[in-house]
Amino acid sequence: MAVTGVPQLGCVIDFTNGAAFVSTSFTLDDTTKGKLGTGQLADADDSVDVGSIVLQVSVRRGRNRILDKFEAGTATVILQDATGYFDPSNVSSPYYGKLIPLRKIRIFADYNGVRYALFYGFIQSYTTHFAIGNEDFSSVTLECVDGFRLLNNVAFTTLPTAAAGDLSSARVTQLLDLATWPTSARAIDTGSSTMQADPGTANRNLLDAIQLVADKSEFGGFYINADGQAVFLSRATLESRTSQTPVVFKDDGTAIDYQGIEVLHDDVLVLNDVKVNRLGGSVQEVQDATSQGTYFVHTGVRADILVQSDSEALSQAQMLLATRKDASIRISSLSLNVFDATPSSSARVIAGLNTDIFDVIQVTKTMPGAGSLTKTLLVQGVQYDITKRSFITKLLTNEPSISGFVLNNTLTGVLDSNAGLLSY
């Protein structure tokens, strides 16, 4: 029985072919599905709502902070399967023959009349667990992955439409076109940097090629969001995020409260010897002797990026050095209890459902002894752990790797501060 006043978990599996979720397939002569602009072109109208039999969901999406790159989002969904309908070998199941790898799945939560997307991806595997001993039901575990898996499966050599001078956004679009990624499932910013001609290297991985352009060359971001869209954010957009009004979390009762926090002080993200070279260019190296004297040498390398000039490669190196040369006390994650029906918790619940990658938040932690720690952060990853009686959201955070000086802004308009660096 559902608990009232808390988010209601939902999950739908789509058995149709293709990357786009099909809610209504176009059907000739049908009074509803045959209307132009209503039905979607698809092989069938074939989905099932499994929300009522979901026992547990775990979602992981975002950037690996150590590797400094976005990884495939994943979800694990455990279904109660007393009927055996979700056992792929059950010939009596109404889904027999449909339970094959890479069928689409959508996970969401409904709260106060609003639907919040949590994950969109593809089922990689079905693992059946049969009732044994005291267990009174069988279950099936669905291991799921987002659209990065589809892009990672594509190898290519040439990109015929690419040319020197293409904006990074145009190059990302060309690569998505090569993968026949649905245009309706894209959110592409206008890039800030222009690219060299495509290198034409044999048997490249398409996902690696996109990340080389979007993350390394543009210094932006490319990821799959909770709605399944391929999102490209430019460097200018990420720079502007730090000047936006953040969602504020505090532990003193004056803002949105939180239930867990991780505070770290380490050298994991320190870089004090940065080397960046563009394809065919010279290595641009910048160092900070004071940082090296304090933390020893921490080298970071970005090789063969596709920007058109050594001066832009140097600017990128300088920006990395400026933001990463010093170790600081970091708030690495924040945990929110979303399974809370008290009216005063509504802002926290909405924040736990609605906050996504690259959203800006401000977190204050009262420290033992005296004083407090306040950090303005970008969300780098989102995790959900959900059962019938619990719902925890964990936001993985980091301080921005790029920021620009913004006049009259209280965060990024302060002279001589790291937050107010002049970007390139």
pLDDT tops 70 at residue 283? yes
The pLDDT of residue 414 is above 60:
no
Shared domain check, 230 and 103: no
Instruction: Check whether residue 225 and residue 280 sit in a common domain.
Output: no
Asked if residue 374 is part of any domain, the answer here is yes
Q: Is residue 359 part of a domain?
A: yes
Residue 208 dihedral angles phi and psi, to the nearest 5°: -60, -40
- The domain boundary, picked from 126, 146, 166, lies at 146
Q: State whether 61 and 162 are in the same domain.
A: no
Whether residue 27 is found in the same domain as residue 129: yes
Is the pLDDT confidence value at 415 over 80? no
Q: Tens digit of pLDDT for each residue in 14-54?
A: 999 988 877 554 444 544 444 444 444 444 569 999 999 99
Shared domain check, 357 and 314: no
- pLDDT category, 370, cuts 50, 70, 90? confident
Q: For residue 233, what is the domain's CATH number? A: 3.55.50
Instruction: Give the residue from 137, 105, 141 showing the smallest Cα distance to 10.
Output: 105
Q: Is the pLDDT of residue 413 over 80?
A: no
| Containing structural domain, residue 351 | 244-265+328-420
Residue 304 shares a structural domain with residue 399: no
- Evaluate whether residue 281 is within a structural domain: yes
Task: Name residues whose C-beta falls within 8 Å of residue 208's C-beta, 6 or more positions apart in sequence.
Answer: none
3-state class of 44 per DSSP? coil
State how far the alpha carbon of 334 is from the alpha carbons of 88, 135, 396, 397, in Å: 39, 35, 7, 8
Mean pLDDT, the chain, integer: 89
What is the greatest pairwise CA distance in the chain? 76
Task: Name the phi and psi angles at 308, rounded to 5.
Answer: -95, -10
The domain tally of the chain equals: 4
Residue 17 shares a structural domain with residue 112: yes
Instruction: Specify the pTM.
Output: 0.90
Indicate if 40 and 166 belong to the same structural domain.
Answer: no
CATH number for 118: 2.40.10
Q: Does residue 107 lie within any of the structural domains?
A: yes
**373 or 18: which leads in pLDDT:** 373
Decide if 293 is inside a domain. Answer: yes
Co-location of 306 and 334 in the same domain = no
Same domain, yes or no: 77 and 50: yes
Q: Which of 146, 168, 193 is the last residue of a domain?
A: 146
Do 172 and 251 lie in one domain? The reply is no
d(CA 10, CA 12): 7
CB 270 within 8 A of CB 296: no
Residue 61 domain flag: yes
Instruction: Work out the number of other CB atoms within 10 angstroms of the CB of residue 317.
Output: 24
Could you give the CA distance from residue 169 to residue 189 in angstroms, rounded to a whole number? 6
Are residues 228 and 92 both part of a single domain?
no
Query: Does some domain include residue 336?
Result: yes
Residue 395 is part of a domain; what is its CATH number? 2.40.30
- Return d(Cα 388, Cα 424) in angstroms, integer: 49
Which of residues 123, 146, 169 is at a domain's end? 146
